[in-house]
């Protein structure tokens, strides 16, 4: 899933909202609206935010 995060092309200092918007744009149109896939969308968004937070922690730790 980290590869999917990299395909979002967001910067480390971008906000969580920017990450969610980029992830939303990468999804197929029919997947965004399907109520049956709601839980999968939530998992996907949370996973992208988790990777974003990990990258932010890494940058702040090493002061890159």
Number of domains in the chain: 1
Residues of the domain holding 23: 2-62
What's the CA gap between 54 and 49, in Å, rounded? 9
Residues of the chain with pLDDT under 50: none
Residue 64's pLDDT is what? 65
pLDDT of residue 63: 83
Three-state SS annotation for 15-44: CHHHHHHHHHHHCCHHHHHCHHHHHHHHHH
What tokens were used for 25? 């744009």
Q: In degrees to the nearest 10, what's the CA dihedral of 48, 52, 57, 58? A: 100
Give this prediction's pTM.
0.90
């Amino acid at each position: 899933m980290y590869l999917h995060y990299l395909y979002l092309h967001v910067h480390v200092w971008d906000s969580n909202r920017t990450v969610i918007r980029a992830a939303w744009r990468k999804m197929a149109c029919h997947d965004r609206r399907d109520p049956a896939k709601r839980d999968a969308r939530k998992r996907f968004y949370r996973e992208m935010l988790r990777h974003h937070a990990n990258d932010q922690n890494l940058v702040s730790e090493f002061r890159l």
